[in-house]
């Protein structure tokens, strides 16, 4: 596996809400075309980290960020077009959020927001993304019914389709399997393995075994600090560099 190109470079990232610092200086890189797993217990700063990446943290008025994040080599804090940055990063939230629009409009929302209006183009994007998210077969006959009427698992795949609709270079999944059944989870995991050929995937999960199954490299984040970052095999081996990692991965704490 060639780990040459860096998709994301993070240097000394610190984040605090008010006076409380929740991320204490993270420095790491994420390479192109890898699945990068982030594991760690609740409240360890995983979701906040993702929100820093696409700068939706800006909406949190109490949050202050310092440090540097480079996506595809350019500093995201200096970017002129924040919307283009967000389109470059697909984001899937823990709980499935079908927008109260039709299934078609859910997926077409992002392309439309960026100014695409041609019906044929939109059609092809919707079809392609729903296929990529393994949802097409189930919904192709009812594209114009409400997205919120789908089941939880279907809505989560709809969310993934929507995250793919703006052709991101990086896809972030934040504990995507929290609200869906194991069968659907497995289907989505298969989808991710497919997608990996084309894009970089950041997989935040509190199911350690999911990271083990999917990730190329895994980072163990705890209370806003990186405890250990290494290839998944080492993290999940009998002898990771840090004993805490071993304890967490084997369910001794956390």
Cβ-contact 199, 170 below 8 angstroms: yes
Stretch that binds other proteins, among 6-14, 64-72, 119-127, 232-240 (CB under 8 A): 119-127
**Shortest spacing between CB 32 and other proteins, in angstroms:** 18
Residues from 134 through 153 that contact other proteins (CB under 8 A): 146, 148
Under the criterion CB under 8 A, does residue 48 sit at the interface with other proteins? no
Under the criterion CB under 8 A, does residue 239 sit at the interface with other proteins? no
Cβ-contact 69, 13 below 8 angstroms: yes
Under the criterion CB under 8 A, does residue 217 sit at the interface with other proteins? no
Under the criterion CB under 8 A, does residue 162 sit at the interface with other proteins? yes
Task: Count CA atoms within 13 Å of residue 150 on its CB side.
Answer: 30
Binding footprint of other proteins, residue count (CB under 8 A): 40
Which residues does 7 contact at the CB level (< 8 Å), separation at least 6? 30, 31, 32, 71, 72, 169, 170, 200
State how beta strands 170-174 and 225-231 pair: unpaired
Q: Which is nearer to other proteins, 165 or 245 (CB)?
A: 165
**Shortest spacing between CB 193 and other proteins, in angstroms:** 15
**Shortest spacing between CB 115 and other proteins, in angstroms:** 4
Under the criterion CB under 8 A, does residue 115 sit at the interface with other proteins? yes
The rounded radius of gyration (Å) of the Cα atoms in the chain is: 18
Cβ-contact 213, 225 below 8 angstroms: no
């Amino acid at each position: 596996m060639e780990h040459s190109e860096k998709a994301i470079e993070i240097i000394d990232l610190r984040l605090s809400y008010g006076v409380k610092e929740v991320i204490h200086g993270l420095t790491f890189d994420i390479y192109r075309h890898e699945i990068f797993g982030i594991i760690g217990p609740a409240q360890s700063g995983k979701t906040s980290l993702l929100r820093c990446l696409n700068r939706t943290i800006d909406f949190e008025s109490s949050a202050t960020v310092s440090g540097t994040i480079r996506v595809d080599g350019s500093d995201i804090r200096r970017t002129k077009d924040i919307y283009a940055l967000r389109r470059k990063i697909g984001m899937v939230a823990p709980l499935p959020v079908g927008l109260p629009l039709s299934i078609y409009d859910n997926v077409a929302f992002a392309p439309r927001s960026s100014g695409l209006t041609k019906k044929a183009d939109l059609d092809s994007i919707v079809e392609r993304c729903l296929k990529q998210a393994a949802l097409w077969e189930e919904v192709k006959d009812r594209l114009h019914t409400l997205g919120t009427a789908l089941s939880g698992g279907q809505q989560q795949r709809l969310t993934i389709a929507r995250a793919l609709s703006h052709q991101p270079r990086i896809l972030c999944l934040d504990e995507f399997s929290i609200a869906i059944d194991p069968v659907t989870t497995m289907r989505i995991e298969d989808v991710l393995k497919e997608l990996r050929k084309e894009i970089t995937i950041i997989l935040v999960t509190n199911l350690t075994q999911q990271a083990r199954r999917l990730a190329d490299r895994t980072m163990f984040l705890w209370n806003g600090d990186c405890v250990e970052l290494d290839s998944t095999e080492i993290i999940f081996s009998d002898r990771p560099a840090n004993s805490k990692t071993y304890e967490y991965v084997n369910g001794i704490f956390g």
